[in-house]
Every structure is written in C-alpha cells, then in structure tokens.
Amino acid sequence: MMRVDRKHPWRESEAAQRLGVRYPIIQGPFGGLSSVALAASVSNSGGLGSFGAAQLSPTQIKETVAQLRESTDKPFSINLWVSTYDEAAPSTTGARIEASVLATQHYFAELNIPTPEAPKFSAPDFNAQVDALLQARPPVASFIFGIPPKSVLEACRTSGIVTIGSATTGDEAKAVADAGMDLVVASGFEAGGHRGSFLSPAEASLTGTFALIPQVADTVGIPVIAAGGIADARGIVAAFALGADAVQVGTAFLVCEGSGIGPLHRRALLSDAVRSTGLSRYFSGRLARGIRNRFMNDMDKSALDPLPYPLQRALMRPYTEAATRQERTDFLPLWAGQAAALIRHTTVEALMESLIRETDELYRNLSL
C-alpha cells in the first residue's frame, strides 16, 4: 500500500491553537536554571519557551518579561509557584533547625568550609509576584504547587493571559480544570526537578506518565500537556496516542546551549550518570528528581528528616555553592528526568528540528 505523505494534525492540536504556537511543544520551566536566551530560542523555533520565576522579585519578573519581549515576538510563558513555602516552615523550631545543621556539618567539614548559621525562614511573596505578572502581561502564565485564587485567574483572563496548571494526579487535574484554567500539565513521576503535588504529599502522588495521561484526558475538558519522560519523537507520539494535546519537554531542553545550568551539570547530563536518577527532599525540602550521587544515597540511608521548604534549601545553599566551586558533583543537586539518557542534541534549533521531523515521520509510518 502506498504511504500517505501528509502532515499529521498533531501540529494543529487544540493546545497549539490556544497557546498561539506553531508546534505543541513546551519547554519545561526550570526555576533558578531558567534563562531568557533559552526560552526565547524555543519560542522562536515554534514551541513555547518558559521561564521559571519562582525565585524572582516582582521587579525582576517585570524585567524578565520585558527582556523576553525584546528577544521574541512569539508567545512565551512565565511560571510561578503558588505555594512558596511549606506550611510547617514558619513554625519550625530553632532546636530542630540546629539539629539539622549539626547532622550535616561533616559535609561542610569535608568541603573545608565553616558550618553555616541556622537558616531563618524567608520566602517569596506570591501575591506580590502575581501582581507583577499581571502588570507585565506575558502571553502565558503557568502555575505549579497549587491553583491561584479565582481573582487571579479572572484577572489573567481579562488581560488575555492564557493559564496553565500543573497536576501529578487525576484529582489535581480535575481541580485545575474546575478552577477554570485553560490547560493542564499532567506531570508523571519520570519528570526531572520538583514534583508539584498539592492535594496529597508528593510521595503519595507518584503516577507514571503513561498511566496519568489517559486518566487526566478522561477527567478534564481542557487540553492536556503531557510531561515526564519525554525527550524524543517517540515520547510525543505516545503522549498524543494516550490523549495529550501537547508535550512538555524538560531535561532535553535543559542541556541545550543557553540554559542556566553550569558546566558541571551539563557534563553530567551528557554522561552515563543520567541512567540512574532518584527522588529526594534533602536538597530543598521538597521532593525532586535528579541524578543519583553520594549525597542523595547517604541521605536515603540516614534517619535525618529534612527541614521543610525553603529552610532545607537555605541550609544546603552554602554547601552546594562550595561543592560547585570545588567541582564535586557527588554533592550537587543535578536535576534530571528519567529520559535524560535519550538526549542527543545540545542546541534548541537541533532539538526542535529533530522533534518535529521525527514526529512527522513516525506518524507517516503509522499511516501505512
């Protein structure tokens, strides 16, 4: 039978139309590893570039949106964390914090740096951040670790800002849709970085991408963005077959030139080390997936209870800064998803070209 040579409608999915992009391929937001250069490159290549602004001040959010507008005339997204701290963080006792400092002091000694002072609670003001976002009016706003208040979503709608929520379970996806958000990310546990669970603890919300996508697609009436374990065209086709309208690609973009990762992290992502990743709270206080190393393995064996976010993150900051200076990857948080071993490209242009061309080829082959 003759092969049918035509473009598959995956390119013109409902998600692509709502987002105003040429291809339904979204770059995952990377928090402190984001860069204007990377997000703009993805948008200029026809996808949706994203900038993780969770740690930015309101002024920095406005400046970032302005820089993105100077770098691209295509849609882009700004990502915020709705929950900027764990509920237990403000009331964590000094005694518990001191105990955590003492329990990790041998690492500081090994790095030949003084044991830091006990961290004090401090977290970004989500309300101030979202006010800045509304003033800056990016084309798309995505949210993780919860659902913004109804007033915020209404303001986004009035301002023409498309909203994306994130879910790690079917129940969370339903909550996102019921709140009136425009699209939902179905984030499987294969994804790198932080798990954005908000209805149940992250450890109780570890559903794989292949199981999660159809559950979400069957539950909500808004476009579904598949995330977690997607790094090539095979992942895209599989996600669409399961009911997704778009895909979110994280680690494969993180390794590309222009991202905010350092050389140690980039080399690790391009090494065999990516074949072993794990979930840990010990770097930040919130569950996140990264390349397994000595620190993660040691902590898994310990009886130490990590501090709530962001106290644990603050405690570990001097440690990770010293480890970076000393090039000790066995001590660093090296965020990576389970599909990192599939990475073949180190530029946005090459990655996007490969994803688009090979997805079209797979669909043509499936149309025999």
Give the pLDDT band of residue 6 (cuts 50, 70, 90): very low
Within a domain: residue 75?
Answer: yes
Is residue 245 located within the same domain as residue 261?
Answer: yes
Whether residue 23 is predicted with pLDDT greater than 90 in this model: the reply is yes
- pLDDT above 70 coverage of the chain, percent: 97
Within a domain: residue 152?
Answer: yes
Is residue 141 located within the same domain as residue 234?
Answer: yes
Alpha carbon distance 135, 129 (integer Å): 10
Tens of pLDDT along 181-217?
Answer: 999 999 999 999 999 999 999 999 999 999 999 999 9
For residue 65, the tally of other CB atoms under 10 A from its CB is: 22
Helix/strand/coil (H/E/C) assignment for every residue in the chain: CCCCCCCCHHHHCHHHHHHCCCCCEEECCCHHHCCHHHHHHHHHCCCEEEEECCCCCHHHHHHHHHHHHHHCCCCEEEEEECCCCCCCCCCCCHHHHHHHHHHCHHHHHHCCCCCCCCCCCCCCCHHHHHHHHHHHCCCEEEEECCCCCHHHHHHHHHCCCEEEEEECCHHHHHHHHHCCCCEEEEECCCCCEECCCCCCCHHHCCCCHHHHHHHHHHHCCCCEEEECCCCCHHHHHHHHHCCCCEEEECHHHHCCCCCCCCHHHHHHHCCHHHHCEEEECCCCCCCEEEECCHHHHHHHHCCCCCCCCCHHHHHHHHHHHHHHHCCCHHHCCCECCCCHHHCCCCCHHHHHHHHHHHHHHHHHHHCC
Give the pLDDT band of residue 366 (cuts 50, 70, 90): confident
Is residue 230 located within the same domain as residue 141?
Answer: yes
Q: Which residues contact 292 (CB under 8 A, 6 or more apart)?
A: 273, 276, 277, 278
Tens of pLDDT along 140-184?
Answer: 999 999 999 999 999 999 999 999 999 999 999 999 999 999 999
Q: Which two tokens stand for residue 8?
A: 């598959």
pLDDT of residue 38: 98
Is residue 351 located within the same domain as residue 210?
Answer: yes
Is residue 30 located within the same domain as residue 138?
Answer: yes
Within a domain: residue 240?
Answer: yes
In terms of residue numbers, what domain contains 326? Answer: 91-122+272-339
Is residue 303 located within the same domain as residue 358?
Answer: no
Is residue 175 located within the same domain as residue 306?
Answer: no
Within a domain: residue 1?
Answer: no
Give the pLDDT band of residue 31 (cuts 50, 70, 90): confident
- The CATH number of the domain where 127 resides is what? 3.20.20.70
Is residue 169 located within the same domain as residue 293?
Answer: no
Whether residue 4 is predicted with pLDDT greater than 70 in this model: the reply is no
Give the pLDDT band of residue 116 (cuts 50, 70, 90): confident
pLDDT of residue 368: 42
Within a domain: residue 3?
Answer: no
Tens of pLDDT along 66-109?
Answer: 999 999 999 999 999 999 999 999 999 999 999 999 988 899 99
pLDDT of residue 226: 98
Is residue 285 located within the same domain as residue 304?
Answer: yes
Within a domain: residue 2?
Answer: no
Tens of pLDDT along 306-340?
Answer: 999 999 999 999 999 999 999 999 999 999 999 99
pLDDT of residue 330: 94
pLDDT of residue 9: 79
Is residue 309 located within the same domain as residue 255?
Answer: no
Within a domain: residue 129?
Answer: yes
* Region class of 134: left (phi > 0), else alpha (psi between -120 and 50), else beta: alpha
Is residue 266 located within the same domain as residue 359?
Answer: yes
For residues 279-292, give the mean pLDDT.
97
**Predicted structure pTM score:** 0.95
Is residue 57 located within the same domain as residue 142?
Answer: yes
Whether residue 1 is predicted with pLDDT greater than 70 in this model: the reply is no
Within a domain: residue 245?
Answer: yes
Torsion of CA 323, 325, 327, 330, to 10 degrees: 10
- Which residue would you say has higher pLDDT here, 115 or 271? 271
pLDDT of residue 308: 98
Average per-residue pLDDT for the chain:
95
Cβ 225 vs Cβ 179: under 8 Å: no
pLDDT of residue 5: 44
- The count of structural domains within the chain is 2
pLDDT of residue 7: 58
pLDDT of residue 327: 96
